[in-house]
Amino acid sequence: MFIVIEGLEGAGKSSAVALVNQIVAERFPEREIVNTREPGGTPLAEEIREIWKQPRQEPMAPITELLMVYACRGQLVETVIKPALERGAVVIGDRHNLSSVAYQGGGRMLADQVAALSTITLGEFSPDLTLYLDIDPAIGLERARQRGELDRIEQEKLSFFERARACYQAAAATDPRIVTIDASQPIEAVHQQIRALLELNL
C-alpha cells in the first residue's frame, strides 16, 4: 500500500506523516514501513532536491524545475517505492505526483507538460490513498515563515499558491482516492480525522 500526504506549506504535513506512521505501525506491527519524501528520498534525488530548493541568482526556468522534480520522482519510484511495494512494505510518502499537478501544473501553469511527464515517468502508477491537508495559503505561508527562512518555492507570490490550492481541490473533487482534510482546524481535530479515515481505508 502506498499512502501519500499532500498539502501546501504550513498545512501540517510533517505531523500528519508522523501520525500516519504511528497508525500503520499499530495496525500492521509485522509490516515494513518505508518513508519517502519528494523531491528526494534517494541519495541522488536528495542531491537534486538541494539544488532545486536553493534560491539562486540565475532564475530557474519553469521547465527546468519541472524536469528536475520528475527526474527525482522517476529515480525514487523505480529504485525505492516499487521495490518496497513488491516486498510487501507500506510506503508512506511526504508528497508525490499531486504536488507537481498543484505547484507546476497550477502554480507555474504547466498543466499539459505535467500530464505528459507524469505519463512518461509513472504510467499508471499512483498512490492507493492520498490525504490532502487543505489550508488557505495565506495562513500556511505565515506558519512556514515563522519556521525560518523561505526556500525558492516558498518565496513565490500568494497567487502562485492560490492556483496550486485550486488544483489540489479540483483533483480531490474528481479522484475518490484523494481525501481532503481541513487543515485549518486545531491539530487534535485534524489528527482525529486522519485516524478515522485510516481506520476506514486500511
Choices 27-35, 99-107, 122-130, 171-179 (CB under 6 A): range interacting with ligand TMP: 99-107
Find the binder of ligand TMP among 42, 75, 99, 180 (CB under 6 A). Answer: 99
Find the binder of ligand TMP among 104, 118, 130, 180 (CB under 6 A). Answer: 104
Binding of residue 103 to ligand TMP (CB under 6 A): yes
Phi, psi of 126 (to 5 degrees): -155, 160
Longest dimension (CA), the chain: 49
125, with CB counted inside 10 A (0-12, 13-18, 19+), is middle
Position of minimal CB gap to ligand TMP: 103
Quote the least distance from Cβ 56 to ligand TMP, whole Å: 15
Give 129's contacts (C-beta < 8 A, 6+ positions apart): 1, 2, 3, 4, 177, 179, 201
Find the binder of ligand TMP among 9, 23, 161, 163 (CB under 6 A). Answer: 9
171, with CB counted inside 10 A (0-12, 13-18, 19+), is buried
Binding of residue 100 to ligand TMP (CB under 6 A): yes
**What is the β-pairing status of strands 33-37 and 2-7?**
unpaired
Query: Which residues within the stretch 38-97 sit at the binding site for ligand TMP (CB under 6 A)?
Result: 38-39, 69, 94-95
Binding of residue 6 to ligand TMP (CB under 6 A): no
Would you give the DSSP letter of residue 185?
S
Q: Interface with ligand TMP by CB under 6 A: which residues?
A: 9, 37-39, 69, 94-95, 99-100, 103-104, 153-154
